[in-house]
Structure 1
Amino acid sequence: MTPEPTLERALSSIDVRPGRAWQRTLSEGERLPLSHGTAALVYVRRGELTGRAPERPACTVDAPSGAAAAIEGERTLLAGDAFVSLGCHALTLTSQSGAEVTVVPLEVTPNADTRALPPVVFVSGFAHAEPAAASLAAHLGIPAPGAPSDREGDETICKLMVMTVLLSALRAWASTERASAWPPQSDDPFLSRVVAAVSADPGHEWTIDQLAALGAMSRSVFAARFRRVFGSSPASYVTEVRMRRAKELLEAGTPVSQTSRALGYASDEGFRRAFRRHAGVAPSEWRAGRRELAV
């Protein structure tokens, strides 16, 4: 699949300059911190390494197949896997059982296009997909940051490996960017008009007839086309928009009753039932969980 134009520009214009690679051995439970503004490529030579995706969804890529997906939460890398952070967020990688890694500091020149890229990329199976680069990476780097090295060609190898990882990962990310966007995107201007209207006013009591009229279609044609393009019924989409907005309001501290009214529910109990079906817990429980996570 061809990447979206913005991502295609980013991939062709991304300016990444690798620094001197260095090796590190992590003991059980030891952490590898990456501060905000510190972009880096980390290659796992042995053991395992776990990282948590930042607030903005990260990208996970299976290098052999090219499959990619957005993820939230933790992801564990094994020997032969790679990790790239563009330095947008501070994060910590932790090894529960110990690991040997190669770390390549990166200098990334930001521009308008690179901001469309995922801030963190987890690449599984890199050694299988790129055996030559992985073989070089296994022996790449000096024992500690800043240590002298007489090896020539390290910078060239780093550059090659970094760009191989980044471009393969980001191209895979680009192919999924459109599918994972919210609100859903469509080339159909009539369906786009419907999506925009619901997103702008989720508390309105939308009916299938109203939505079909917005899309300038008959009721039956609209319902069939909407399901074919977005993979859900119009009613399910309206509910999804309301639940996403409900989470935003609840996380911002809006009371349950006020949230219920803002989203057009006739009663608080009706809102609670709808929210529980969507999230698996009551609104108050969901908000409490988010607060605990934030703490």
Structure 2
Amino acid sequence: MSQPTIDRLSSLLERFKVRARLFHQGPLCGISRFPAEPGRGFLHVMRRGELELRHGAKHSELPRRLLITEPTLLFYPRPLAHQFRNPPEDGSDFVCAELEFDGAALNPLVRALPPLVVLPLARVEGLGLSLQLLFSETERLRCGQRLLADRLFEVVLIQLLRWLIDHPAEAGVQPGLITGLADPRLARALVALHEAPGEAWSLAAMAERAGMSRSAFAAHFKAVLAQTPAHYLADWRLTLAQSRLRQGRPVKQIADELGYASASALSRLFSQRLGRSPRQWLDGQAAV
């Protein structure tokens, strides 16, 4: 009997939204620099042409030079300085967008992704129609063009995230949220945690969602996500609490929503994980 399909992304993207802003369309010639700025990622689409992609020496996990010769997506989920070197050829065509993820570095998807994804367009099933609409919107000025182009870029990003969940090894994704969502059994438990973080989640309840015994679930979860189910749940609740604190929500209300018996119980989680109270953490964020 086939397993029911589940939506592995919506519960994440509803709580931690992503916004795209188109800032370039057309040819790129010579040297184009893209500086790292807090909270900002990039999604570049090379439709035609070629480019040499460069990174600084301090980014040892990335190639210093990479030659791109076929239509390709280049996705930087986190701030990372890079530059393009393009030959002055007719016919090159790019669209580029800045990305802003809710929570910035605290966003669970941002934390789980590699620093760079380089993906030929032909590899992503169903991407052609979205890109056709995106390029159509950037080719001539029409009412609402910028807004529609931004939304289409967000559609492309969601399709890219789908591909990453389905092909984590090919993308170089390390053990964590993405590899967990790629596992059919663990994904059922993870989606349940994401959708109902305030429930009293015992190990037995999580294992039941995955259709596994407690011992098998605990061992498999740790092997795939590199942390225990209880640790992941505490991290997820902490991430949600941080997001809601930034929205101005009171600690007591947040504690109630996330399944803590009191505001002091949530404060203990902050102290254990971050070494400061919720108020001290929020004051520190305001000072950044």
* TM-score normalised according to structure 1 size: 0.48
* TM-score normalised according to structure 2 size: 0.49
Pick 1 or 2: higher relative contact order, CA cutoff 8 A, min separation 6. Answer: 1
Larger Rg: 1
